[in-house]
Structure formats: C-alpha cells, structure tokens
A and B are shown apart, each in its own frame.
Chain A
Amino acid sequence: MAVDRDMSVLIVDDYKTMLRILRNLLKQLGFNNVDEAVDGGSALQVLRSGASYGLVISDWNMEPMNGLQLLKEVRSDPKLRSMPFIMVTAESKSENVIAAKQAGVSNYIVKPFNAATLKAKMASVLGEF
C-alpha cells in the first residue's frame, strides 16, 4: 500500500533547531503537513484533541514529560495505541533502546542522524515511499 504523503506528522522536540531540521527533511521527503510540539505533555494534548496523525516523531529528553512517557501514554490510549511512533534521540544506550522497544516504539533513530536514516526508518514503519 502506498504511503499517503498528505498525512499529518507530529514532531516533538524541545530544541527549535531540531524541529526546524525535521520539518525541512520531512518536506524534502514529500511530507508537508507537519505539526510541532515542544514536550510530551503538549504533544499528548494535540494527539488527544482529535486531530488525526499518521506518524509521531519524538525526542526522548524533554521536560516535564519526556518522549518515553509520551510513548507509554500513547500506547495505553485505546484511540492512539496503533499510531506509528519513531523515537529520535541522543540516548543510544542499549537499555534505553530496550526500554523504548518494550514500551512499543515503532523505530528508533540515534542523533545525530542523516536524511537517509530518517527515510529508511520511516519506510520501515509506514512502508516504502
């Protein structure tokens, strides 16, 4: 099934530069409907507001709610639990990756990353595009 590039993507990061970089890279990949949130709490609010998102790309280290907590909230919400969720983080320790995997993360990108990695991980979650 072809990936719908018109779908909305929610990117979550407390660094404005990272949000800007992700938005630009997603635009290059053909995803123009991109919304932003600066921490897990505000992301959860957006997700629960009823807006439909085809993918969440989230950082881990954020306050007050971090990316792992956001992921757990998403996976425990019946309306959101099947939402594709990619973690993009500098946390590269294996125990962190395992914790995210156990919490149900769809894929995991370690910072710094390149556009090819982002595309490959998105394709593994959404299907080739």
Chain B
Amino acid sequence: MYRNTDIINEGSQSPSFGEAGDLVINVGPQHPATHGVLHLVITLNGETIKKVEPHLGYIHRSIEKMCESLTYRQFIYVTSRMDYLSSHINNHACALCVEKGMQIEVPERAQVIRVLMDELTRIASHELWWGAMAMDIGAFTPFFHAFRERETINEIMEDTCGARLTMNYMVPGGVMADIHPEFQKKVKGFITLFKSKVDEYAELLTGNIIFKNRMKDVGVLSKEDAISFGCTGPVARGSGVSCDIRKWYPYEIYDKLDFEEIIETAGDSLARYMVRLREMKQSVRIIEQLIDNIPEGDFQAKTKAVLKLPKGEFYSRVETARGEFGVYIVSEGATTPYRIKFRSPGFSNLSALDHMARGSKLGDLVAMMGTLDLVIPDIDR
C-alpha cells in the first residue's frame, strides 16, 4: 500500500516516500545480497541514494521472551540461533553471565578450551564473511577458497562439540565435554594450512584493482559517527575506535594473552575489510599460544543440580566476530530469569548503514552491507 506511486508523485512529505521525482525501491526481504530476510526501503534520486530505511521483523522469534520460560542451563542453546556464525561466542557470554551470578569458579582448562573455541569460531566466521562479501561484489572464486579452510574448522568443531554450527558446547561452569583426543593435532594442522592460504587471499582479492576501487572511499564512517551509532567490532575498529572487549574488559584468560587490537583509521569499506583479515591472523596467534599449553584438570566445575541466580541484575559481555555481545539478566531468585536482554552487535552496526549510504551510488550499497557483516537473525532476534 505504501508503495503507491501516486503518493510519491504528489510530493508527499511522509518520511517513507521522499520528494517528488524520487524513486523508492525495495531491496529484500528476499534478496541474495542481504544474506537473509533484511528489507531495505531505498529512496533514490537517479542512482544516488537519498535514504536507506531498514525494515526489520521478518525473522523475529522473540528469543528474549522465550528465554524467560527456560532455566539457566536451557536458555544458552537459544543464543546459537541468533548470530549463527559466532554461536559459540554467544553461548560463552550467557555462560559467563550465569557464572557471574552464581559465583562459579571455572577451571583453567575449561577457560583455555573456551578461548580456543572462540578464536576458531572467529576465524570461521571471518572466513565465511570474506567469501560471501567477495561474492556479493562479483568475485565468485574466493567463496570456494574461504569455505575450503572453514570446512577444516567445522570438522574440528564436529569432533569435539558434535555439531558444525550450533554447537551448544558451553554450560555454566565450563564446557560440556572434554576435547577430542585429536583436537590439538587437528588444530595445529589447520594453523599450518591457514598460514599458507592466507597470502593466497591477498593475491586473489586484496590486491585486485577492481576490488580496491570498489572498496576504497566507499561507505565512509567517521570515528565520531561510529561511536554515536554504537558500532562495535570490526566496523568501529575500521573507523579508528578502540573497542575490543577482549582488551578493555578481559574475560577468561584474555588478559594473559599476547595479541594486538587491530585498528584502521580510514573508516571506509577497505579499512573494515583489512581489519577482519588482520584479525584472523591475530586469532591464529592466540591459538598458537594456547594449543600446546592446555592445562590439565577438570573441564567443568561442579555446580548445583538446579541453578538459581540470586535476586539482582547481571551483565556480561564478550567480543564476537561482529562486535560486542552483551547478556543482561534480571533475576527474581527463581530457576528461570525474570527478564533477559541481549545486546547484539548487528543491530547497532546496521543503524549506521543509512548514514554511510547517503549520497553514494546504489551499486556501492552492496559493498557497504558486505563489510558491515550483517547476520540478520542477530539483528532481529
């Protein structure tokens, strides 16, 4: 109904339609470049974008409300269905929050396993982003290269966690099972493979002149805007904002690890691209430090059969592959939470899209969306 062209021609001042002569087009909810059911209503003047309006709600499953009827052990698995590419890190945040409330000491072995798995997930997520983003802007080959290496990580996950994507490996107090006997061997094999292939990525895509021209100075987000839109993760770090939760509010054993926070200052799509590529190398660095030093001990702390968080409010946050993921639990002292709020990185990052797309051409929108690394179920829980 609101796509009625008569209204547009009459020059309605309604916020959705723009002025006379503007063309309003819909990208999505079923569009291959949005990687899901994201609906963008774009107001165009010729080929220049005047406004981008994201419409959400196509994959809303009311996960926060669902969690209110699940116990503190059960609600963790639901968060895998939000940001399915870093499901392990989402689960980590939930487990951390419950542990904070219950004051459970996590054994050191469990902490190391958690961090190892987190970093593997981060690499897998960035690999998929690299392939999918390249495919969005028209380079098809990188997709296969990225998925080949990602498959190795998926096999490692399958061995230890029993699933490839929605692992549900975290439980309050540690991890669900001990690592697979061949875990260390396979991870080392992956690292050698990855190091030889990561230069291939640069050869294939990063140095390509067509790719560079499509990414450079496209979708510029200044440092101030990145902060005011609440962007986190590689999007904010591409604009020069230092916001790595692993550095600022270290959880588990991240404060003992030696790694760099990657910051690029250009703020354009190429900067965000470079942040993610360099972040993968840092994740490999973290894995290399830990893989030979997994301490002996329990993989799970002894917890009560029924978990009851004391009355109060608890918040914990982690750095997922897309940015800051926060879990906020309000407890009334019962076995189920009174209220749960998830702070997902994708939602805030998407809000910056309108600002960075204004004034640029329609073809560049895909490059911007690609480097924002949007996962729609994460935006729209």
Chains A and B belong together in one complex: no
Q: Which residues of B contact A (CB under 8 A)?
A: none
Q: Which residues of A contact B (CB under 8 A)?
A: none
